[in-house]
Chain A
Amino acid sequence: MIETKTKKIITLDLGLKSYKEVWDLQKEMQQQRIKGKIEDTLILVEHEPVYTLGKNADENHLLQSRDESVNIFNIERGGDITFHGPGQLVGYPILDLSNYKKSVSWYMRILEQVTIDVIAEFGINSSRIEGLTGVWVGDEKIAAQGVRISRWVTMHGFALNVNTDLSFYDGIIPCGIFEYGVTSLEQLLGEKQDLKKVKRIVIEKFNFHLKVENEKIV
């Protein structure tokens, strides 16, 4: 069972920031969290366009046809290749899982459930696909996940396509999955969505599923 008493999660909304800057910040915060110097934190951010490759990523999934001006980072999270860019809400929880449950599968399912509940607020049914981590609407992926854990403290996290320019995904085979496409709230609903509203719901659902009170929004 999850205790409810002393836990709190601080939300850090960084707006639009470059990938590298927030990546460095995450690494720093993960170390600080391991040392117990900071609280559990949920970073919310939008990135400038960037492709990121996980440790096991297949370079072949980065296609020749991609926009060459987009930066590429080889990073240390799990998973294959993905895209981040404006209009996509990225969440990086820096959480000490030993205060919740020492289980990576539990954590991944929590992240999926948060996204599923957020999307449901917009009247859209989404689901998991067995063996393919992430959140799917039909057979199109709307949210990707990739995490790195050190001493049970997490970094990296999830990326939810809200108003993302999906043409950037044409340059890659997201997560190495050939068979399926990608989608966004904007594409499903036919118009751009208010990112502030999405952020608010993400924070609410995230705290709900981790059974904590939201502390403050910086």
Chain B
Amino acid sequence: MLVDVVMPKMGESITEGTVLEWRKKIGETVEKDELFLEIGTDKVDSEIPCSESGTIVEILAIANDVVDVGTVIARIETDESLVNMSSSSLKPEKMPKPKQEIIQSKPSPPSIQKKEKMMVDKSEKKFYTPVVLKIVSQENIPLSELENILGTGRGGRVTKKDILGYIENRETAPAPVEEHHVIPEPIKPSAPQAITSNLPGRTEEMHHMRKMIADHMRKSIETSAHVYVMTDVDMTPIVEFVKMNEDSFLVKEGFKLTFTPFMVDAVVKALQDFPEMNSSLSGTSVTYHKNINVGLAVAIENGLMVPAMFNCEEKNFLGLCRTVSDVATRTRNKQISADELTGSTFAITNFGVFGVTIGTPIINQPNVGILGIGAIKKQAVVVESNQGDAIAIRSMMMLSLGFDHRLIDGAGGAKFLERVRHYLETMNLNSII
């Protein structure tokens, strides 16, 4: 009998575990209660005893795989007499008949090599997971063809990804031609590491923070339906104001007056007008946040952090200046607390400080919007007035708003960004500091 080995539940709040080590290989026997697996959960490594005696016929999660509790990670055949026959489930008569003989003429040189190798290894059982078999049967792929697919799984096993990649290749490939001198494209396994291994260079593991950022960004892209609207803002009055006041401000406050608080101020006002931009999405439920906690993307050594500035709606302009300076300084000095790294309800990223004009930032989950600030650059623009149109030199800045189209449509995003522009261009600069 085939017995599933599942990721054990190591505690009430634990939903996943990391496979650290298999002490047994496929084909090896294991005794009931023998320690055969090691898994890791939050600072605890555990040795796991086997629940049944038998032979390991399949391992579905390899070292470092993070697997949900209850997921099948291996299969054990408890009946020894069945072990060598377990590939019998792949008997050709059970498989759909190949539709076209011509498909079989496709195998490429590397695949043939692989096939030969497999012939040699024929005494070894060849395994296909149920999911692969299901796909094979749905797609009417003959068994002979299945055997030609280079597996990237453990021990060359064909994974779901391999079979799907193969099908895609097969479908997009030009119709097979019966000319023997035509060498078809080899079927490539989807192993990413193989691509770079031959190139000269240095390979190193990402730092902890880099891994966290990578994970966070990828998840955000997968989660939100990112769309962008952009607009240019005439920053001339603000630029002149900063120029006029920066020296006295520095003396009075002890830190530099930057453009960021102006952005935060305008964003907070616009968020008050458009509460859905200050919300979070969880599946199909929307949470409208009472407070406006603006996350500020801060570039630091080795990466990036987005600390939140809490309750911005309660702060006047000077309060925002102090908060921005405090949060940015503490983040760069690695003094920011973990609580401050979550809880933002909208984010701002100012890549303009590096001189670029425009960018398309990724939403900081679970927010629904992020504002990218471009560099302020002097430009010749057309200015309309009662005396007619004129060309003037103005300090212009591009704003790009990334938002989640799952919740907010183009009109909503555009209105919000227009409102931010409006608040920046019409900001009352008298007595704000």
Check A55/B44 contact, CB under 8 A, given A104-B11, A105-B10, A150-B35.
no
Whether A33 sits at the interface, judged by CB under 8 Å, is no
Whether B13 sits at the interface, judged by CB under 8 Å, is yes
Bound complex: CA of A129 vs CA of B340, how far in Å? Answer: 12
Taking a contact as CB atoms under 8 Å apart, the answer to whether A138 and B45 are in contact is no
A22-62: contact bitstring with B at CB < 8 Å (1 yes, 0 no)? 00000000000000000000000000000000111010110
Binds B, one of A2-10, A113-121, A140-148, A160-168: A140-148
Q: How many residues of A contact B (CB 8 A)?
A: 38
Instruction: Give the Cβ gap from A170 to chain B, nearest Cβ, in Å.
Output: 13
- Give the contacts of B103-139 with A (CB-CB under 8 A): none
Taking a contact as CB atoms under 8 Å apart, the answer to whether A150 and B44 are in contact is no
Check A177/B208 contact, CB under 8 A, given A56-B18, A56-B20, A105-B12.
yes
Q: 5 smallest A-B Cβ distances: which pairs?
A: A105-B11, A103-B11, A150-B47, A78-B45, A149-B46
From A58, A107, A178, contact of B205 by CB (8 A): A58
Other A-B pairs, 14, CB within 8 Å; known A61-B208, A146-B43: A78-B45, A103-B10, A104-B10, A106-B11, A107-B11, A108-B43, A134-B43, A139-B337, A148-B45, A151-B47, A178-B302, A178-B334, A179-B334, A181-B334
Whether B209 sits at the interface, judged by CB under 8 Å, is yes
Task: Specify which chain A residues have a CB less than 8 angstroms from the CB of B335 in the assembled complex.
Answer: 139
- Give the contacts of B31-45 with A (CB-CB under 8 A): 35, 38, 40-45
Nearest to B338 among chain A residues (CB) is A129
Taking a contact as CB atoms under 8 Å apart, the answer to whether A139 and B338 are in contact is yes
Whether B181 sits at the interface, judged by CB under 8 Å, is no
Nearest to A151 among chain B residues (CB) is B49
Task: Specify which chain B residues have a CB less than 8 angstroms from the CB of A178 in the assembled complex.
Answer: 207-209, 302, 334
Check A104/B14 contact, CB under 8 A, given A149-B47, A150-B35, A150-B46.
yes
Task: Specify which chain B residues have a CB less than 8 angstroms from the CB of A84 in the assembled complex.
Answer: none
A160-191: contact bitstring with B at CB < 8 Å (1 yes, 0 no)? 00000000000001001111110000000000
A68-84: contact bitstring with B at CB < 8 Å (1 yes, 0 no)? 00000000111100000
Instruction: Give the Cβ gap from A30 to chain B, nearest Cβ, in Å.
Output: 10
Nearest to B13 among chain A residues (CB) is A105
Taking a contact as CB atoms under 8 Å apart, the answer to whether A176 and B43 are in contact is no
Taking a contact as CB atoms under 8 Å apart, the answer to whether A108 and B45 are in contact is no
Whether A124 sits at the interface, judged by CB under 8 Å, is no
Whether B336 sits at the interface, judged by CB under 8 Å, is yes
Bound complex: CA of A173 vs CA of B35, how far in Å? Answer: 32
Taking a contact as CB atoms under 8 Å apart, the answer to whether A79 and B338 are in contact is no
Taking a contact as CB atoms under 8 Å apart, the answer to whether B20 and A55 are in contact is yes
Taking a contact as CB atoms under 8 Å apart, the answer to whether A173 and B41 are in contact is no
Most buried by A among B12, B205, B305: B12
Whether A16 sits at the interface, judged by CB under 8 Å, is no
Task: Specify which chain B residues have a CB less than 8 angstroms from the CB of A133 in the assembled complex.
Answer: 42-43
